[in-house]
A and B are shown apart, each in its own frame.
Chain A
Amino acid sequence: MDLKEKLISSFMAFEERLDVHSELHDVRTSAIKNFENKGFPTKKDEAWKYTSLNALLKNDFTVFPKKENSIQYSDVKKYFLHEVDTYKVVFIDGIFSSYLSSTTHEGIDVCLMSSALNKPKYKMIIDNYYNQIANKEESLTSLNTAFATEGAYINIPKSKVADKPIEIMFFSTGNESALMVQPRNLVIVGENSHVQIIERHQSLTENPVLTNSVTEIFAQKRAIVDFYKIQNDKLTANLIDNTYVSQKQESSVAVNTFSFGGNLTRNNLNFYHFGERIVSYLNGITIIGEKQHVDHYTLVQHATPNCESHQDYKGIFSDRSTGVFNGKIFVEKEAQKTNAFQKSNNILLSDKATINAKPQLEIFADDVKCSHGCTIGQLDETAMFYMQQRGIPQKEAKALLMYAFSNAVIESIKIPELKQRITKIIANKLGVKIGFDL
C-alpha cells in the first residue's frame, strides 16, 4: 500500500476518534476528497516541475505516532533563543509538550490549535479564520487539512504588541522508523497589533521525517507581523511548508525563510491582499550543499491598489545541491499603482550544483511598477584576490563574501538575538570561525 492509499484508508477511522464540531468534519471530508482526486504532486504538475517527491514517498511513514515521547530540555536547549525571553509552543512528534512550552492567555493567546479547535469559546474564530485563506484546491494543503489536529494557535487582539517573540518548535525524536507529521498553525493579528514569530522544525535523529505543515496568517488593518522560518535540519528531514498570508489595509507582513538544511524543503509561500497600502516582504537565504534540495515557490496576489511587495532571495549552492526559485506576482486589473519587486540572486560554488529560477509576472493593471531580476554567478575572483591580499585566507574570504552576499536579507531580521543566531549558523555552515559583525 503506498502512502496515498494508506492515508485515505485511515482517514475514516481517524476522523471518528475526533470530537470536534460538525463544520470541521465537513472541512476535513472535502479536504480528503480533494487529496484523493489529486494525490501527491508529480513533476508533471507545472508547480512541481523541479521538485520530485517520488523517492521521499517510498518511505513507510507512520502517520499516527504512538503516544507521547518525552525529551529532556537539555537535548533541545540549543534550538531555542536564550538571550531573549520568548513564548514557546513546542511539539514532540506532533504532540504538544507542556513541559517545554511557555504559553499564555494573558491579553494575547499563544496556545494550542487543538484547544482552539475543540473549545466552544473559540468556535467563532475557527469558523471565521480556519482554512479560510489556505488554498482548498492544493492537494498537500488539503492533506494537511484532512488530518491536522495540532499546532500553534496565536491570536493577538486589537492594539496589542506581543511583549515577547514567540517560538514555535516542532521536534521529531525518531521514535518511529519514519514519521509523517502535519502541523497546523493559525495566527491572527488584530488591528494595530504587532507580533514576532519564529518557526522551526527540527529532527533529533537520523530517522526520516516528512513534515507537511500549513500556516495561516491573518493580518488585520495596520498590523505588523514579522515571521521567521529557520530550516536547518538533518539530511533525513523533509519539509513541505505551506504558508498563506491574508493582509488587510496598511498591514505589513514579512516572512523570512532561512534554509540551511534538510534533505528536501519546499516552501509554498502565498500572500493575498485585501485592502490598500499593504506591504509584503518575502525574504530568503538558502545555503545548502551535499544533495540537499530547496524549492521556494512564492505567490503574491495584488488585488487592490497602492500596495507593495518586495521579494529578495539569496541562494548559495555547493556540491550537488539543487535550488528552485519560482516567484509569481499576480497583479489584478483593480490593483493600480502596485509596486512589486522580486530579486533572486544565486551563487553556484560547484559545477554540479543547480538552480532553476523562474519569475512569473502576470499583470492586468496598466499603472504599476513591477520588476524582477534573477542572477546566477560565481564568487567574484577580483574580490577574492583583494581580500586574500589583505591576509584573509581563501576559505575565510569566501565566507566573508558569501556573508556579504546575503547581508541585505540578514539585515532585515528585527530580533537582534535571532540575527546573531542566524549569523552563527551561517558561519558554521561556511566552516569558518570569523565573527561577521563588529
Chain B
Amino acid sequence: MLSIKNLHASIGDKEILKGINLEVKAGEIHAIMGPNGAGKSTLASIIAGNENYEVTEGAISLDGEDLSELAPEERAHKGVFLSFQYPVEIPGVSVTNFIRTAINETRKANGQEEMHANEMLKVIREKSELLEIDRKFLSRSLNEGFSGGEKKRNEIFQMAMLEPKLAILDETDSGLDIDALRIVANGVNKLKSDKNAIVVITHYQRLLDYIVPDFVHVLLNGKIVKSGDASLALELEEKGYDWIKQEQEA
C-alpha cells in the first residue's frame, strides 16, 4: 500500500525529514511516536501533498504509484486521508455541504456518478450515529466554534464518509476527553478492514490502548530510529524518549 523510501524534506533551508523509510501494508495499523519537533506532522503533511514542504530526495508511492507529482486533491481521490491535528475553521460552509462536495468531487474524479441526495443523507445518518454526532451539529459551519473534541470527532466522521484506503491520524487524541477518545477510537476500529491501512501519529500511548497498532515506529530528529510492536509504545510511555536518544548517541 504505502511505501516511503529515503524521504528527505525541508521547509525553507531547514531539513526536517532526513531519510524516512516506511512500508505500510493493507490491513495494518502503524503508530508513529516521537517527541515534539521530531517531524511527525511534517511527514503526515507531506504524504497528503502539502506544498509548503519541499521533498528533496526519496519517494512516496501508494499501491506502486508515485505520489510526488500529485496535488493534494489527487492524492485524496486515490484514497489518502489526513485527519488534521488542527482542523481548519471554515465559516459559512456547513459540515454537510462540505462533506457532500468532498464526496462528489472524489466520485467525479474517479469516474463515478454523484451520490444521490437520499443516499447521501442515509450514509450521513449512519456515520454520524457511529460517531455519536448530533444531527444539528451537521448543519453548523465547518469546525467554527467547535470544541477540540468536536473537531476531532468531525475529522473521523469525514473519514468514515470518505472511506479512504490510507488514513493518517495526526494527533487525533489531543484535546479529547476519555469518553470522546473512546468514541473516536471505536469509530476508527469499525472502519478498519483488511483493505485499508491506518497510520496513527501520537505523542502518547493513551490512544493506542484503543487503537492497537501492529507496528510502532519512533521518529526522532527526522528519522525513524526504532521500530517494534505495540509493546514499544508501552515502553516509551514508561521510560520517555531519552533512552532512545542515548541509544542513538552510543
Q: Which residue of B lies closest to A396 (CB)?
A: B105
Q: Which residue of A lies closest to B104 (CB)?
A: A434
How many Å lie between the Cα of A387 and that of B72 in the bound state?
9
- Whether the pair B73, A391 counts as a contact (CB closer than 8 A) is yes
CB-CB contacts of B48-92 with A at 8 A, as 1s and 0s? 111110000000000000000001110111001110100110111
CB-CB contacts of A366-394 with B at 8 A, as 1s and 0s? 00000000000000111101111111111
How many Å lie between the Cα of A400 and that of B102 in the bound state?
11
A-binding residues in B (CB < 8 A): 48-52, 71-73, 75-77, 80-82, 84, 87-88, 90-94, 96-103, 105-106, 109, 141, 158, 162
- Whether the pair B97, A438 counts as a contact (CB closer than 8 A) is yes
- Chain A neighbourhood of B93, CB < 8 A: 400, 403-404, 407
- Whether the pair A400, B48 counts as a contact (CB closer than 8 A) is no
- Whether the pair B97, A389 counts as a contact (CB closer than 8 A) is no
How many Å lie between the Cα of A393 and that of B106 in the bound state?
9
How many Å lie between the Cα of A408 and that of B96 in the bound state?
18
Interface size classification for chain A: 20 to 34
Of the residues B51, B87, B109, B141, contact of A386 by C-beta under 8 Å: B87
How many Å lie between the Cα of A390 and that of B95 in the bound state?
12
A401 interface contact, C-beta 8 A: yes
> Does more than half of chain A's interface fall in helix, strand or loop, or is it mixed?
helix
Of the residues B48, B49, B88, B158, contact of A383 by C-beta under 8 Å: B88
B-binding residues in A (CB < 8 A): 380-383, 385-394, 396-397, 400-401, 403-408, 434, 436-438
- Whether the pair A388, B91 counts as a contact (CB closer than 8 A) is no
- Whether the pair A401, B97 counts as a contact (CB closer than 8 A) is no
Q: Which residue of A lies closest to B51 (CB)?
A: A385
A294 CB, min distance to chain B CBs, angstroms = 22
- Chain A neighbourhood of B100, CB < 8 A: 438
How many Å lie between the Cα of A394 and that of B51 in the bound state?
13
Of the residues B82, B101, B141, contact of A389 by C-beta under 8 Å: B82
- Whether the pair B91, A407 counts as a contact (CB closer than 8 A) is yes
How many Å lie between the Cα of A334 and that of B231 in the bound state?
76
Q: Which residue of B lies closest to A399 (CB)?
A: B101
How many Å lie between the Cα of A401 and that of B90 in the bound state?
7
B223 CB, min distance to chain A CBs, angstroms = 25
How many Å lie between the Cα of A382 and that of B80 in the bound state?
18
- Whether the pair B97, A392 counts as a contact (CB closer than 8 A) is no
- Whether the pair A390, B92 counts as a contact (CB closer than 8 A) is no
Given A389-B82, A405-B92, A436–B97 Cβ distance below 8 Å?
A: yes
A396 CB, min distance to chain B CBs, angstroms = 6
Given A386-B84, A393-B73, A404–B91 Cβ distance below 8 Å?
A: yes
- Whether the pair A392, B105 counts as a contact (CB closer than 8 A) is yes
- Chain A neighbourhood of B80, CB < 8 A: 389
Of the residues A383, A385, A394, A406, contact of B90 by C-beta under 8 Å: A383
